[in-house]
Structure formats: structure tokens, C-alpha cells
């Protein structure tokens, strides 16, 4: 009996040490990186400020719209590059929505409808109508061009409106961390659109 206890204790020590060294190596290089400056805040602050609930609504809607565009592309396009790009948009923007809704739930923030959200939805409706009338290369070209224009507009809005207005530090940090991803999407979309000139 004593022997069993001795071995159990020894095993416990071993596991403790192993757990210790795992977490050590994972934390080691996790530097905090703060993104982007907020120099362009002055003009926007004159406009009616958005609260965090409205910002959450805008963030989720903006991402959902690009997921929806991606789904239309998968329905309509046979072009492998367009399809791969659309799949990446669906996956990435769905991941962001998941993170944003999880954080909003944790922070007890209920996304609140507002005029910016409505403008985004209106833009989506117009674009969907345009897409509906296009097939083949014409659709692929319109989709790629819209992805470039849409990401350009969203990156701009995130930097100049959403980030400067966000009050909660965790929400601000999440939105800031989306910027490099949007920049990457924008570059990919521009490269894709250039192939359809």
C-alpha cells in the first residue's frame, strides 16, 4: 500500500513538471502586440458616436455580408481561384463572427441595430441584385472587384470609425486584431480582380 502511494506521488510530481514545461514553452513567445495608431479620429468624433452594442452589430453584419457573398460565389462560379478565395472568405469571416459573438456574450453586450448596419445591408441588397443578373466570367469579375472594393471600405471603416469609437478594451483589441486579416484579404482580392481586367 505504501509502495502504491509512493509511486502515485512520484507520478504526480512527474505530471506536474510536464504540465509546467508545456505551459512555459507556449507562453514564452506570446508577446502582446498592439496594432495601429489612431491618428485619423478627429473628423469622426464630431459625428454621433457609436456605442459598443452598435459597433458589435456593425462588426457582425459586415462579416456576415462577406460570408453571404462567398456563398453566392460558390453557387455561381466554376473558376477554381474564385472558389478558393470564396471558401477562405466564408471560413475567415465566420471565425471572426464566432469570436465577436462569444466576446459580446461574455461582455453582456447585445448587438444593437443602427444606421450603419442598415447601410451595409442596403449595399448588400443592391450587390445581390447585380450578381443575380451575371454569369460566368462576368460574375467572377464582378465578385472579385466587389471583394476588393468591399474590403477596402471595411478596412477603412474599421480603422477610422470602429476602433476609435470602441470603449471596451477587449472588444477594441479584437477589432484591432482583424485589421491584418482584412489587409490580407484586400490584397488577395486585388490580385484576383487584376486577373479579370
Partner 1 sequence: MVRWQNMKKTMKKLIESVIVFAGVIAILMSCNGNADTVKNTGPQRDTVIIKLMAFNPDTLSVNVGDTIVWINQDIVAHDISHFPDRAWHSDTLNPKDVFVKVIDDSSSYFCSIHPTMRGLVTLKK
List of residues contacting partner 1 (CB under 8 A): 6, 10, 13-14, 17-18, 20-22, 24-26, 28-31, 33, 35, 88, 91-92, 95-96, 99, 174, 177-178, 180-181, 183-184, 187-188
Shortest CB 13 distance to partner 1, Å: 7
Shortest CB 3 distance to partner 1, Å: 8
Dist CA 85 CA 75 (whole Å) = 13
List C-alpha distances in Å: 170 to 30, 52, 78, 102: 17, 11, 40, 12
Helix (H, G, I), strand (E, B) or coil at 1: coil
CB nearer partner 1, residue 35 or residue 134: 35
Question: Any idea how long the chain is?
Answer: 197
The answer to whether the beta carbons of residues 157 and 120 sit under 8 Å apart is: no
Dist CA 73 CA 90 (whole Å) = 10
Shortest CB 55 distance to partner 1, Å: 16
Dist CA 67 CA 73 (whole Å) = 10
Dist CA 37 CA 56 (whole Å) = 21
Shortest CB 137 distance to partner 1, Å: 23
Identify the residue whose cell numbers are 465566420. Answer: 94
- ∠ Cα 20 24 25 (to 5°): 125
CB nearer partner 1, residue 34 or residue 108: 34
CB nearer partner 1, residue 24 or residue 133: 24
CB nearer partner 1, residue 33 or residue 39: 33
CB nearer partner 1, residue 52 or residue 127: 52
Shortest CB 194 distance to partner 1, Å: 15
Amino acid at each position: 500500500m505504501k509502495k502504491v502511494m509512493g509511486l502515485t506521488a512520484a507520478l504526480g510530481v512527474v505530471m506536474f513538471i510536464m504540465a509546467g514545461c508545456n505551459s512555459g514553452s507556449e507562453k514564452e513567445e506570446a508577446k502582446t502586440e498592439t496594432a495601429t495608431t489612431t491618428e485619423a479620429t478627429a473628423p469622426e468624433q464630431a459625428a454621433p458616436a457609436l456605442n459598443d452594442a452598435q459597433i458589435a452589430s456593425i462588426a457582425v453584419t459586415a462579416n456576415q455580408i462577406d460570408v453571404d457573398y462567398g456563398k453566392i460565389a460558390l453557387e455561381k462560379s466554376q473558376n477554381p481561384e474564385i472558389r478558393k478565395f470564396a471558401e477562405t472568405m466564408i471560413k475567415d469571416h465566420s471565425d471572426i463572427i464566432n469570436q465577436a459573438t462569444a466576446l459580446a456574450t461574455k461582455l453582456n453586450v447585445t448587438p444593437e441595430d443602427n444606421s450603419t448596419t442598415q447601410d451595409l445591408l442596403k449595399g448588400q441588397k443592391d450587390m445581390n441584385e447585380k450578381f443575380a443578373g451575371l454569369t460566368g466570367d462576368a460574375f467572377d469579375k464582378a465578385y472579385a472587384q466587389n471583394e476588393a472594393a468591399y474590403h477596402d471600405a471595411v478596412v477603412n471603416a474599421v480603422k477610422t470609425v470602429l476602433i476609435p469609437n470602441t470603449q471596451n478594451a477587449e472588444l477594441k483589441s479584437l477589432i484591432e486584431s482583424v485589421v491584418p486579416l482584412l489587409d490580407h484579404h484586400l490584397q488577395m482580392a486585388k490580385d484576383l480582380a487584376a486577373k479579370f481586367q
